[in-house]
Amino acid sequence: MSRISPPGWLAGLALTVTILVGLFAVPADAAQGDVQRIMYVHVPSAWLAYLAFFVTLAAGLLFLRRQDLRFDRVAVASAEIGLVLTGLTIATGAIWGKATWGKWWDWDPRLTTTAILFVIYAGYLLLRQSIVDRRRRARLAAVFGTVAFLNVPIVHFSVLWWRGLHQPPTVIRPGDPTIDHLLLAELLASVASFTLVYLWVLRRRVDLEATRDAAELALEPAG
Amino acid sequence: MNLAAAAIALARKDLLVELRARQAIASAVALAAVALVLVGLAGGPDPDRLRALAPALVWIALLYASIAVADRLERIDRADDAFSGLWLVLPDRRAMYLGRVISLAIFLAVLQLTLWMAAALLLDLPLAIDALALVPLAALSALTAATATALVVALVADAGHRPLLLPVALLPLLVPTFLAGVQASSAVLDSRAGDAATWAAALLIEAALFSGLGLLTYETAASPD
């Protein structure tokens, strides 16, 4: 039976503490009220999804260069986590949108490009499932992962390139962040704890992929 | 034979095969016509609404038609091991990507102009002299769509569930092209030259990005081993 390792406990504890602090300790936003607290899940999910897809890109390129399947395991693991995080970003954004804009969904450029990002990486995983040969699968997925990543900057800059309902950047922007410093500290703590969870899940998922590869190899006919 | 000459020879081969068989373009035109009529019906009889929707209708039809054309061309190449023969003969295999981009771009440009004429008739589009700008725009947007389509169709050529996988993998990647194409053609139809030029520049950037990635990765993506 698999046990949770100390890094897993640490990541879980950090996430629990930051969520509890975000829900009960940090004051609510003066304008939006309690619904703003969803930002402590929404923003880290979105940033970590970008990171996860960047890791997929980098690991894919490293596979193409070194032909080492360990990089492909990292690529697929990170893509799966990125897809889940993108889904979480869309879901939390919809909940926030219902409370703030009065509707679950709007054809806003940021929302639409994020949904497209979700579909592109779902396509990445579908492509992987459609190819039997292990090395061929890794090679084609690496190319697709490279092309797919083109959409990530489009998602990030969509709020600057097109007018929409989604607010422009409040933290990563020229000049000071347009957010209260206490709320910013909690947001950064959330990003840190989400990162720990991402790294722990990535590690576990890579181990699982290695086990699957070993099983596939063992089942292949000899010669 | 250098890269450009080989690419032109391969594009010529695609065009000749199609001129003789007329299968890809016939199925693409049929598919595009069905899409145009169905979406037009779903949109209702309001002529102003249909005119406003026309660029999006043309582009939706074009995207689905591009899948049909690209898939057909790739299947012809993969039949009877023709693809493996080309792979072995060509000193620079990027010519296969470039050749496919050229032939696809020509098909899609012709198809797009045909669709605009159909839309003008069916949707009562007022095509003024400014609408002649749709011709170079069709060429540019067809080139942009072709650069991505040629790469993705090679990626999924040997994958299982290809009829499902190709649209799932390709269409989301073509969304920026779709958006820029729709906005640029809307601007042309509304005589907003400045906006049209901005969106045409976006198409050009997309074409440069996709063709750069295609040239860098095609050999890895299409390798038959």
Q: Is B172–A142 a contact, with Cβ atoms under 8 angstroms apart? A: no
- Domain chopping of chain B, boundaries: 3-222
Task: Tell me which range, A36-45, A174-183, B45-54, is most confidently predicted by mean pLDDT.
Answer: A36-45
Q: Is A143–B158 a contact, with Cβ atoms under 8 angstroms apart? A: no
Give mean pLDDT, residues A193-216: 94
* Amino acid, res. A101: W
User: Could you give the C-alpha distances from B206 to A114, A154, B4, B178, in angstroms and in order?
Assistant: 19, 11, 21, 11
Interface mutation vs chain B, best among A119, A130, A139, most B CBs within 10 Å: A130
Interface mutation vs chain A, best among B162, B173, B199, most A CBs within 10 Å: B173
Helix (H/G/I), strand (E/B), else coil: A58: helix
Indicate if the pLDDT at residue B69 is higher than 90. Answer: no
Of the candidate ranges A173-187, B134-148, B163-177, the one whose mean pLDDT is the lowest: A173-187
Burial of A147 (0-12, 13-18, 19+ CB in 10 A): buried
Q: Is A131–B160 a contact, with Cβ atoms under 8 angstroms apart? A: yes
The single residue listed with the structure tokens 């092309």 is A147
Give mean pLDDT, residues A88-100: 93
* Chain A residue closest in CA terms to B168: A123
Closest Cβ opposite residue A144 in set B155, B210, B225: B155
Indicate if the pLDDT at residue A166 is higher than 90. Answer: no
Helix (H/G/I), strand (E/B), else coil: A29: strand
* pLDDT at res. B151: 94
Beta carbons of B133 and B127 less than 8 angstroms apart: no
Is the four-CA dihedral A96, A101, A107, A108 of positive or negative sign? negative
Using a CB cutoff of 8 Å and minimum separation of 24, what contacts does A199-204 make?
A: A199/A7, A199/A11, A200/A5, A200/A7, A200/A8, A200/A11, A201/A81, A202/A52, A202/A55, A202/A74, A202/A77, A202/A78, A202/A81, A203/A7, A204/A8
Longest dimension (CA), chain A: 69
Indicate if the pLDDT at residue B70 is higher than 80. Answer: yes
> Closest Cα partner for B66 from B123, B7, B143?
B143
Residues 6+ apart with CB under 8 A from B79: none
Beta carbons of A159 and A166 less than 8 angstroms apart: yes
Longest dimension (CA), chain B: 56
Q: Is A143–B209 a contact, with Cβ atoms under 8 angstroms apart? A: no
Average pLDDT over chain B reads: 87
The single residue listed with the structure tokens 């035109």 is B29
Is the four-CA dihedral B165, B170, B171, B175 of positive or negative sign? positive
Q: How confident is the model at residue B223 (pLDDT cuts 50, 70, 90)?
A: confident
Query: If contacts are CB pairs under 8 Å, which of residues 68-107 in chain B contact chain A?
Result: none
Q: Is B173–A64 a contact, with Cβ atoms under 8 angstroms apart? A: no
Count residue pairs from A and B with Cβ separation < 8 A.
Answer: 67
Beta carbons of A137 and A126 less than 8 angstroms apart: no
Total Cβ atoms within 10 A of residue B93: 18
A123: which chain B residues are within 8 Å (Cβ-Cβ)?
Answer: 165, 168-169, 172
Helix (H/G/I), strand (E/B), else coil: A90: helix
Residues 6+ apart with CB under 8 A from B41: none
Q: B155 CA to chain A: closest CA distance, Å? A: 6
Angle of the B134-155 helix axis to the A134-148 helix axis, nearest 10:
150
Cα A69 to the center of its chain, rounded Å: 22
Q: A159 CA to chain B: closest CA distance, Å? A: 15
Looking at domain A7-168+179-208, its CATH architecture is: Up-down Bundle (1.20)
Indicate if the pLDDT at residue A223 is higher than 70. Answer: no
* Chain A residue closest in CA terms to B164: A126
Beta carbons of A116 and B172 less than 8 angstroms apart: yes
- Alpha carbon distance A44, B70 (integer Å): 39
A64 reaches B (C-beta below 8 A)? yes
A157 reaches B (C-beta below 8 A)? no
A153 reaches B (C-beta below 8 A)? no
- Alpha carbon distance A199, A7 (integer Å): 9
Closest Cβ opposite residue A130 in set B152, B160, B223: B160
Of the candidate ranges A58-62, A98-102, A152-156, B42-46, the one whose mean pLDDT is the lowest: B42-46
Beta carbons of B155 and B224 less than 8 angstroms apart: no
Token pair recorded at residue A35? 């619904």
The single residue listed with the structure tokens 């899409």 is B35
Q: B21 CA to chain A: closest CA distance, Å? A: 30
Question: Which residues does residue B73 pair with via DSSP β-bridges, in sequence order?
Answer: none
Give mean pLDDT, residues B179-201: 90
Average pLDDT over chain A reads: 89
Indicate if the pLDDT at residue A3 is higher than 80. Answer: no
Closest Cβ opposite residue A123 in set B168, B217, B220: B168
